Amino acid sequence: MTNKILVTRSSMPDFDEYIDEIKGMWDNCWLTNMGPKHKEFQAMLKDYMDVENIELLTNGHMALELTMQAMNLQGEVITTPFTFASTTHAIVRNGLEPVFCDIDPDTYTMDVNKLEKLITDRTSAIVPVHVYGNICNIEEIDRLAKKYNLKVIYDAAHTFGETYKGVGIGNFGDASCFSFHATKVFNSIEGGAVSFKGERLGKILYDLKNFGIHGPEEVSSVGANAKMNEFCAAMGICNLRHLDEEIAKRKTVVDRYIDRLSDVAGITVWKPQKDVKPNYAYFPAVFEPGEFGASREEVFAKLADNGIGARKYFYPLTNTFSAFNGKYSVDKTPVALHISKRVLTLPLYSDLKLEEVDRICDIILSMKN
């Protein structure tokens, strides 16, 4: 068997570049607590994303959880179950009640046609999720949020580096939360960020991520510890220098997948959205067994037998987690359920060779009836 192909592989700078970036730490011994690399990385991100404000955190989950806490949300929060556990858990861990909206069958993002009927007098916010690099219906979400005076916090973990109609994706809603986990298009080993307008939210987030400490003898509020360390910031600085090149390489891989699989009956593959500059974060393929002749499970197993990793992403839906003891009804999100049982994200990273993409596609196409 040839070497295994993983579903993703972390982008990393040249070894010497990273060593050069961190060597100053051996002089200043500053490893955390908003050090020089943290501040440099923060400034670089603000410029790259073209946002008014940005706060760095230890990971994308804490970005979500602490943003909700900073906004002092109450009652119900409308979100989607077609997401990673973090989105729903951030809501629940804030003592809020998630209300699940179904997804659009084409973009896999929140179906705004089903959103308004879920709004009640207990609703305080909407937490939509940009999925696979697909952007939510920002205009309609914004309209409904203004109509009902709701906060909007975007889970933007999949969309770093993207723009919508020429505007950086971090400029929408009241806040957008990003993950810089090692599996993402852009990583800082581990890390996260929140982009937002105005200064008030930033001051609260700063307190929440640093124990509410305002000086050596002043702790004015109760906070957590969610600070990004200098090693992660340094990796972010290095990777940000090469991000556009990395995205261009990923595009080459995605284009080959589209060329090979887009016209196959029973397979629906990712396509770029209008007005979006994509980051080619993931390549989802949805398999309809009645048309294609093989189920998602069979394709997944066949790829695995050939040393190829794929991911059932997102499966299971968060509203089916055993952690919630059957509290939520999956019947209310039938489209999400349908897609979750049929979707695979295929291997995608900048150094994936086109001959490897062809081998993946050949195996999949060999299962066509």
Confidence bin at 3 (pLDDT 50/70/90) = confident
Tokens of 294: 């093989």
Is the backbone of residue 230 left (phi > 0), alpha (psi -120 to 50) or beta? Answer: alpha
| H or E element at residue 256 | helix 243-261
CA distance 228 to 247: 24
Q: Which amino acid makes up residue 119?
A: I
Is the backbone of residue 38 left (phi > 0), alpha (psi -120 to 50) or beta? Answer: alpha
CA distance 270 to 103: 15
**Percent of the chain scored above 90 by pLDDT?**
98
Domain ranges of the chain: 15-241, 243-310+346-365
pLDDT tens column, 245-298? 999 999 999 999 999 999 999 999 999 999 999 999 999 999 999 999 999 999
CA distance 260 to 316: 28
**Helices (H) then strands (E): counts for the chain:** 13, 15
Would you call 125 helix, strand, or coil by DSSP?
Answer: strand
Residue 98 has what pLDDT? 98
Residue 1 has what pLDDT? 43
Burial of 322 (0-12, 13-18, 19+ CB in 10 A): exposed
Q: What is the mean pLDDT of residues 28-43?
A: 97
CA distance 73 to 150: 10
Residues in the chain: 369
Q: What is the mean pLDDT of residues 195-217?
A: 95
- 152's CB contacts (< 8 A; 6+ apart) are 125, 126, 127, 128, 141, 142, 145, 172, 173, 174, 175
For 15-241, CATH gives 3.40.640.10
Confidence bin at 2 (pLDDT 50/70/90) = low
Q: What is the DSSP string of 10-26?
A: -----HHHHHHHHTTHH
Question: Does residue 186 register a pLDDT over 90?
Answer: yes
Report the chain's mean pLDDT, rounded to a whole number. 97
Tokens of 109: 């993002």
Question: Does residue 97 register a pLDDT over 70?
Answer: yes
pLDDT tens column, 142-157? 999 999 999 999 999 9
Residue 227 has what pLDDT? 97
Residue 222 has what pLDDT? 96
Strand 97-100 relative to strand 53-57, pairing: unpaired
CA distance 67 to 177: 8
> Are the CB atoms for 172 and 49 separated by under 8 Å?
no
Question: Does residue 174 register a pLDDT over 70?
Answer: yes
Tokens of 166: 């020429």
Would you call 344 helix, strand, or coil by DSSP?
Answer: strand
What is the CB-side half-sphere exposure of residue 295 using CA atoms within 13 A?
7
For 243-310+346-365, CATH gives 3.90.1150.10
